[in-house]
């Protein structure tokens, strides 16, 4: 963390999202000056939290970068709308962001991609995330690249992890939770508050290679569903979905939904483990300790508006 946060201005690109809101929360706690870069058509309800902590709000333009010390790029999606492609969302937007950072001579640029990012991945999501990393690496900017695992937990705003929210909704309202291959893929969830802290810690640290960031516990997706079901006082049952059927469903949904609730890349990723080796996990290096336990992370959903609504739906 910067030795004098109050003198530093941080630009958060993608501030209305789940991670964006939690990063703003952490920056505000550390007394940084915060500027948020949002889309022109942003839903006003998504700006409520940012306004509540006094953020300076800019719609996408070069002026947002003026006087910025640290710029953080969080824009991305596992299931883009039909109006966007992975390449547009990841590579093209990163290119514009990098160009603006260079023009403004910012001190450091921080790009958040995803654990598993790799140009040889079968997932277009991971491939294009890697291409976005290359854009930053080829620039002259002082930078850091962070690759978080599945983010979990809740501290502020109404935004949630889309996957965790969907799992909770299915636990509450469906007789069975459908998972590709029954959810046997391994994951390593990272507490959202720890991720926000990791970003801040990169401001004054020299990061020479992309850093994997993952939580302290490895488990299957099916086991995560089981742990989440305790929040709703319900024992979740799993329905195993064949990947070929999952692909067919995803293809159909992509034709009828602007943002499909199941994408082809989600089906691909559901067949892969997404974990970090203990040696490669950068959480301990950045925070000086292992991340928040999964049980503690899950407990942060208690008392949230989401959980209250789902308990009523269950009833």
73, containing H or E segment = strand 70-73
CB-CB contact of 179 with 239 (8 Å): yes
> Which position has the token pair 């505000």?
28
Beta bridge partners of 109: 71, 143
| Residue 45 DSSP label | G
200 within a domain of the structure (yes/no): yes
State the Cα–Cα distance between residues 293 and 186, nearest whole angstrom.
Answer: 16
Secondary structure (H, E, C), 278-299: CCCECHHHHHCCCCCCHHHHHH
State the Cα–Cα distance between residues 236 and 126, nearest whole angstrom.
Answer: 30
308 within a domain of the structure (yes/no): no
140 within a domain of the structure (yes/no): yes
CATH number for the domain harbouring residue 139: 3.40.50.720
Task: Count CA atoms within 13 Å of residue 236 on its CB side.
Answer: 28
Determine the pLDDT at residue 2: 63
CA dihedral 302, 305, 311, 314 (to 10 degrees): -140
241 within a domain of the structure (yes/no): no
pLDDT in tens, the chain (315 residues): 666 787 899 999 999 999 999 999 999 999 999 999 988 878 788 888 999 999 999 987 778 999 999 999 998 888 777 778 888 888 899 999 999 999 999 999 999 999 999 999 999 889 999 999 999 999 999 999 999 999 999 999 888 999 999 999 999 999 999 999 999 999 999 999 999 999 999 999 999 899 999 999 999 999 999 999 999 999 999 999 999 998 998 889 888 888 778 888 888 999 999 999 888 899 999 999 999 999 999 999 998 999 999 988 865
CB-CB contact of 159 with 50 (8 Å): no
**Domain range for residue 34?**
5-156+188-215+275-292
Determine the pLDDT at residue 114: 95
Summarize pLDDT for 260-271 with one digit per residue, the tens. 788 888 889 999
42 within a domain of the structure (yes/no): yes
Task: Count CA atoms within 13 Å of residue 154 on its CB side.
Answer: 18
> Which position has the token pair 């824009």?
75
162 within a domain of the structure (yes/no): no
| Count of structural domains within the chain | 1
User: 258-264 — which CB contacts under 8 Å span 24+ positions?
Assistant: 258/81, 258/82, 258/83, 259/79, 259/80, 259/81, 259/82, 260/79, 261/79, 261/166, 262/79, 263/78, 263/79
Structure-block tokens of residue 206: 């020299």
State the Cα–Cα distance between residues 12 and 37, nearest whole angstrom.
Answer: 6
282 within a domain of the structure (yes/no): yes
Cα–Cα separations (whole angstroms), residue 291 to 186, 199, 270? 18, 14, 24
168 within a domain of the structure (yes/no): no
Crossing angle of helices 162-173 and 221-229, in 10° steps, is 60
Summarize pLDDT for 9-61 with one digit per residue, the tens. 999 999 999 999 999 999 999 999 999 998 887 878 888 899 999 999 998 77
State the Cα–Cα distance between residues 228 and 232, nearest whole angstrom.
Answer: 8
Task: Using DSSP bridges, classify how beta strands 186-187 and 219-220 pair: parallel, antiparallel or unpaired.
Answer: antiparallel
Determine the pLDDT at residue 182: 95
CB-CB contact of 101 with 60 (8 Å): no
pTM here is 0.94
């Amino acid at each position: 963390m910067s030795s004098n946060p109050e003198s530093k201005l941080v630009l958060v690109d993608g501030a209305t999202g789940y991670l964006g809101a939690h990063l703003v929360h952490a920056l505000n706690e550390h007394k940084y000056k915060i500027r948020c870069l949002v889309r022109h058509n942003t839903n006003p309800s998504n700006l409520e939290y940012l306004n509540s902590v006094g953020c300076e709000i800019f719609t996408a333009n070069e002026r947002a970068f003026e006087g910025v010390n640290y710029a953080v790029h969080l824009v991305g999606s596992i299931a883009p709308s039909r109006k966007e492609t992975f390449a547009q969302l990841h590579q093209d937007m990163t290119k514009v962001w990098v160009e603006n950072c260079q023009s403004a001579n910012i001190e450091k640029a921080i790009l958040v991609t995803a654990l598993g990012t790799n140009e040889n991945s079968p997932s277009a999501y991971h491939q294009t995330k890697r291409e976005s990393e290359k854009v930053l690496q080829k620039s002259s900017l002082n930078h850091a690249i962070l690759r978080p695992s599945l983010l979990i937990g809740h501290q502020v705003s109404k935004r949630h992890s889309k996957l965790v929210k969907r799992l909770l909704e299915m636990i509450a309202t469906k007789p069975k939770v459908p998972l590709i291959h029954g959810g046997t893929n391994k994951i390593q969830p990272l507490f959202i508050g720890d991720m926000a802290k990791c970003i801040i810690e990169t401001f004054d640290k020299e990061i020479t290679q992309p850093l994997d960031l993952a939580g302290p516990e490895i488990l299957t997706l099916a086991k995560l569903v089981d742990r989440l079901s305790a929040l709703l006082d319900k024992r979740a049952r799993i329905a195993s979905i064949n990947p070929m059927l999952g692909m067919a469903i995803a293809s159909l949904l992509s034709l009828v939904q602007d943002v499909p609730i199941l994408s082809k890349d989600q089906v691909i990723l559901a067949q892969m483990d997404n974990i970090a080796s203990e040696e490669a996990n950068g959480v301990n290096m950045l925070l000086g300790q292992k991340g928040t336990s999964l049980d503690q992370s899950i407990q942060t959903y208690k008392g949230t508006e989401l959980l209250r609504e789902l308990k009523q739906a269950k009833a």
